[in-house]
A and B are shown apart, each in its own frame.
Chain A
């Protein structure tokens, strides 16, 4: 369901925006318009839609227009042309009262510079949106403290922003945004001013909160890793234009032009590619039956050229792993009529389909056997072996090296 629709949105900063609009129609770009008229094209014909409940990341370098475009969603900046439609209502056409009301109840915002009121306590800051909406004192303190609890800061309710560290201040900013319980949360480079460790923590917290509440989040960032970590879909902007919109995998695999490709050059693929992308069902699976499984398993394994087999139940839920050695030992020590569980190798913990390559690296690296992969219902999907892991990395490297070479060759030609 479309929550926010942006239609042909333009923003020109300057005295005669219509003039610049005409020049844009004629095909001029941002730089030539600035040369000719001294005006700045902030956003150039942006059109996209944002689905309800998704985290939508708008990415770009400084000057790409991303901060401008998010401010047009709540009309902190008025568009020069085009429309913004939220829940079917045209924000661009709203009168002042309607707009104030809209901001009070439907949207809130978290800022890069935290923007906490220094003269108000932490809990009053968190309650700010509620105070503006004229919620009564006790009720708004209650809700503010709940919001602070969600970010782990309820103990600091009566402190002042000046006493808090950057990370804590931003969490108050987030609590302020959550306290009004908005459908839509706008986050303008909300984690960019935090140090890398805190930044990752905050990103995780955001995703966790999102699992509970399913808000529509529009997140501005210039950090590719951040976008890939938290984004359901990403819009890439350059010089005011929206260059590409898609899921992280889409964009990684089908970048629309060199600008987008260049964005991904520094990206670590192990954060994007998941176990599910590289899992292979290439090892024997043994279904655990009521009796005699050990002998049967041993037979099966001897017949194959593998050493490991993975045991599942009737619904293909993962139960454990056996090796030919282990089975042989168990049979020779007279346990052959016991359940096959007795021959399970210890400490075989499966990884999940959604885990990234980064997540499963420790398991894959430290085990001498291929690591089993299960989905969220513990259904066995296959394995990831060390070989497979390394080959995927290599392929990505080779792929990127080839692309980098191609890019350089093309640049040399056009120079």
Chain B
């Protein structure tokens, strides 16, 4: 098939490019992974609970504390930290690339219409379809998992940044220009601050999508909570799979609530 020939050709000739893409992701990922795993669990729990408390309230703080202790008791701590590292790395790169792309799409109708079908493809194509090329280009492991996650999870933040900025009242943009704002000042002082609630909603969705890739990432050798799920399914050890699944769900709930509260407060 010509697709596999094309991929072969890419691998052979552009190894350097792909290594260059791989490097920052690898560094971030490994840094976070080792950091989270090396740190004493109590410290991590305390930090996350404080975050929950600050953004949401005592209710979520308690739920977070209980969930994380429970995860530890189930023996899922190391995997959870790896998953957290993977999610945070993917989301970081999603934002670094996604928010500027969203801003560009908000400013140019043409760019928007070019970008839209690409985003549609990224969101609807079954992950398996791009998992294989990714593995071929970047080899198995956590990094490939993060890359696949980035592809899948980036569209929400792009779309919602685009939407948020387009929805800022035109009169406010006009007023800023009337007082002598440059394009940059309009963006930074008016559009982005006012689009923040929508952008944070995009962040929330991106995090959720990233978490949903956890199990699929495990298929290509990524670690984290997906790993027990896959192993459990392969060996018909349902208990193991369920335990992994519970871990994923608990982390999802905590991260969802925290980021949702961040968005609410901005309003």
Using a CB–CB cutoff of 8 Å, the interface residues on chain A facing chain B are 74, 76, 100-105, 107-109, 111, 113, 115, 117-119, 128-129, 131-133, 176, 180, 186
Question: B83 CB to closest chain A CB, in angstroms?
Answer: 35
**Contact between A132 and B193, CB atoms less than 8 A apart:** no
When C-beta atoms are compared, the residue in chain B nearest to A77 turns out to be: B174
Could you tell me the distance between the alpha carbons of A176 and B181 in the complex, rounded to whole angstroms?
Answer: 14
B171 close to A (CB within 8 Å): yes
With a cutoff of 8 Å between Cβ atoms, the chain B residues found around residue A101 in the complex are 180
| Interface residue SS majority, chain A | mixed
With a cutoff of 8 Å between Cβ atoms, the chain A residues found around residue B176 in the complex are 128, 132
**Contact between B172 and A133, CB atoms less than 8 A apart:** no
B194 close to A (CB within 8 Å): yes
With a cutoff of 8 Å between Cβ atoms, the chain A residues found around residue B27 in the complex are none
**Contact between B174 and A128, CB atoms less than 8 A apart:** no
Question: A202 CB to closest chain B CB, in angstroms?
Answer: 18
**Contact between A109 and B182, CB atoms less than 8 A apart:** no
Which of A74, A105, A118 sits near B178, CB closer than 8 Å?
A: A74
Subset of 14 A-B contacts with CB under 8 Å: A76-B174, A100-B180, A100-B181, A102-B180, A103-B178, A103-B180, A104-B179, A105-B180, A119-B194, A129-B180, A132-B176, A132-B181, A132-B189, A180-B179
With a cutoff of 8 Å between Cβ atoms, the chain B residues found around residue A107 in the complex are 178
B219 close to A (CB within 8 Å): no
B66 close to A (CB within 8 Å): no
When C-beta atoms are compared, the residue in chain B nearest to A179 turns out to be: B179
**Contact between A109 and B194, CB atoms less than 8 A apart:** no
When C-beta atoms are compared, the residue in chain B nearest to A112 turns out to be: B171
Question: A210 CB to closest chain B CB, in angstroms?
Answer: 20
Could you tell me the distance between the alpha carbons of A76 and B171 in the complex, rounded to whole angstroms?
Answer: 11
Could you tell me the distance between the alpha carbons of A409 and B178 in the complex, rounded to whole angstroms?
Answer: 47
With a cutoff of 8 Å between Cβ atoms, the chain B residues found around residue A111 in the complex are 171, 174-175
B177 close to A (CB within 8 Å): yes
B190 close to A (CB within 8 Å): yes
**Contact between B178 and A109, CB atoms less than 8 A apart:** yes
When C-beta atoms are compared, the residue in chain A nearest to B181 turns out to be: A132
**Contact between A100 and B182, CB atoms less than 8 A apart:** yes
Could you tell me the distance between the alpha carbons of A1 and B100 in the complex, rounded to whole angstroms?
Answer: 49
Could you tell me the distance between the alpha carbons of A133 and B175 in the complex, rounded to whole angstroms?
Answer: 15
B264 close to A (CB within 8 Å): no
With a cutoff of 8 Å between Cβ atoms, the chain B residues found around residue A109 in the complex are 175, 178-179
- Scoring A104, A109, A115, A176 by chain B CB atoms within 10 A of each residue's CB, the highest score goes to A115
With a cutoff of 8 Å between Cβ atoms, the chain B residues found around residue A131 in the complex are 189
Could you tell me the distance between the alpha carbons of A128 and B173 in the complex, rounded to whole angstroms?
Answer: 13
| Cβ proximity bits B181-203 to A, threshold 8 Å, 1 near / 0 not | 11001000110011000000000
**Contact between B175 and A132, CB atoms less than 8 A apart:** no
Q: How large is the interface on B (under 10, 10 to 19, 20 to 34, 35 or more residues)?
A: 10 to 19
Additional A-B contacts beyond A108-B178, A117-B190 (19; CB < 8 A): A100-B182, A102-B180, A103-B179, A104-B179, A105-B180, A107-B178, A109-B175, A111-B174, A111-B175, A113-B171, A118-B194, A119-B194, A128-B176, A128-B179, A129-B180, A133-B180, A176-B179, A180-B179, A186-B178
With a cutoff of 8 Å between Cβ atoms, the chain A residues found around residue B181 in the complex are 100, 132
Question: B266 CB to closest chain A CB, in angstroms?
Answer: 9
**Contact between A108 and B179, CB atoms less than 8 A apart:** yes
**Contact between B171 and A115, CB atoms less than 8 A apart:** yes
**Contact between A104 and B180, CB atoms less than 8 A apart:** yes
Could you tell me the distance between the alpha carbons of A74 and B172 in the complex, rounded to whole angstroms?
Answer: 16
Give residues of chain B (155-172) contacting chain A, Cβ–Cβ below 8 Å: 169, 171-172
Question: A150 CB to closest chain B CB, in angstroms?
Answer: 18
When C-beta atoms are compared, the residue in chain A nearest to B175 turns out to be: A115
Question: A95 CB to closest chain B CB, in angstroms?
Answer: 13
Could you tell me the distance between the alpha carbons of A105 and B180 in the complex, rounded to whole angstroms?
Answer: 8
With a cutoff of 8 Å between Cβ atoms, the chain A residues found around residue B175 in the complex are 109, 111, 115, 117
With a cutoff of 8 Å between Cβ atoms, the chain B residues found around residue A118 in the complex are 194
With a cutoff of 8 Å between Cβ atoms, the chain A residues found around residue B180 in the complex are 100-105, 129, 132-133
Could you tell me the distance between the alpha carbons of A115 and B186 in the complex, rounded to whole angstroms?
Answer: 14
Question: B112 CB to closest chain A CB, in angstroms?
Answer: 20
Could you tell me the distance between the alpha carbons of A183 and B172 in the complex, rounded to whole angstroms?
Answer: 23
When C-beta atoms are compared, the residue in chain B nearest to A75 turns out to be: B177
Could you tell me the distance between the alpha carbons of A105 and B178 in the complex, rounded to whole angstroms?
Answer: 11
Could you tell me the distance between the alpha carbons of A165 and B169 in the complex, rounded to whole angstroms?
Answer: 19
Could you tell me the distance between the alpha carbons of A35 and B177 in the complex, rounded to whole angstroms?
Answer: 34
Could you tell me the distance between the alpha carbons of A74 and B176 in the complex, rounded to whole angstroms?
Answer: 12
**Contact between A103 and B177, CB atoms less than 8 A apart:** yes
Could you tell me the distance between the alpha carbons of A190 and B173 in the complex, rounded to whole angstroms?
Answer: 17
Q: Which 10 A-B pairs have the closest CB atoms?
A: A104-B180, A103-B180, A115-B175, A109-B178, A129-B179, A115-B171, A119-B193, A100-B180, A113-B171, A132-B181
**Contact between A117 and B182, CB atoms less than 8 A apart:** no
With a cutoff of 8 Å between Cβ atoms, the chain B residues found around residue A115 in the complex are 169, 171-172, 174-175
**Contact between B172 and A117, CB atoms less than 8 A apart:** yes
Which of B171, B179, B194 sits near A132, CB closer than 8 Å?
A: B179
- Scoring B169, B172, B193 by chain A CB atoms within 10 A of each residue's CB, the highest score goes to B172
When C-beta atoms are compared, the residue in chain A nearest to B174 turns out to be: A76
- Scoring B177, B180, B181, B185 by chain A CB atoms within 10 A of each residue's CB, the highest score goes to B180
- Scoring A109, A129, A132 by chain B CB atoms within 10 A of each residue's CB, the highest score goes to A132
With a cutoff of 8 Å between Cβ atoms, the chain A residues found around residue B174 in the complex are 76, 111, 115
With a cutoff of 8 Å between Cβ atoms, the chain B residues found around residue A180 in the complex are 179
With a cutoff of 8 Å between Cβ atoms, the chain B residues found around residue A104 in the complex are 179-180
With a cutoff of 8 Å between Cβ atoms, the chain B residues found around residue A103 in the complex are 177-180
Could you tell me the distance between the alpha carbons of A133 and B169 in the complex, rounded to whole angstroms?
Answer: 23
